[in-house]
């Protein structure tokens, strides 16, 4: 299953970009990052059987293990792509949130959207590591 991060804003050459890339390179599943302008632009076409995850402060908070099990379920159900949408400073349109398969939150704090990319990349690496029984993740 393709893990596709679709993010508003250009990350450029920055510490956040380096951290994001460091985690994405470690993931054994296929990954892709698409950047959109802060406003406007259209989402890339999704693969058939794609899942849409919208990162939103009003979303569900999940433990790393719960997140891994959700990815596992999607993968095992034959989903071809999981798209993770990261908004700009003003967040997402209501219609995008309404159409999401999952609203995901990294907690009640407000995070810079460039840092959210690195946090998501790390959680994707952690989740795929959990599923591969890799010792990176330590429960409790």
Contacts of 81 (CB under 8 A, 6+ apart): 1, 2, 4, 46, 47, 49, 50, 51
Q: Which two tokens stand for residue 131?
A: 């599923």
Spatial CB neighbours of 75, under 8 Å, sequence gap ≥ 6: 1
**Any binding-site annotation on 55?**
yes
40 labelled as ligand-binding? no
* Residues in the annotated binding site for S-adenosyl-L-methionine: 55, 87
* Residues in the annotated binding site: 55, 87
């Amino acid at each position: 299953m393709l893990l596709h991060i679709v993010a508003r804003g250009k990350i450029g050459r920055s510490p956040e970009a380096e951290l994001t890339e460091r985690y994405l390179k470690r993931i054994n599943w296929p990954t892709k990052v698409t950047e959109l302008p802060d406003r406007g632009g259209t989402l890339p076409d999704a693969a058939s059987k794609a899942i849409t995850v919208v990162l939103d402060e009003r979303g569900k908070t999940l433990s790393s293990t719960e997140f891994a099990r959700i990815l596992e379920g999607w993968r095992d159900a034959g989903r071809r792509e999981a798209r993770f949408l990261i908004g700009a400073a003003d967040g997402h349109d209501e219609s995008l949130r309404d159409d999401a398969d999952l609203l995901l939150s990294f907690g009640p704090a407000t995070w810079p959207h460039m840092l959210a990319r690195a946090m998501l990349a790390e959680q994707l690496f952690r989740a795929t590591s959990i599923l591969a029984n890799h010792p990176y993740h330590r429960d409790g």
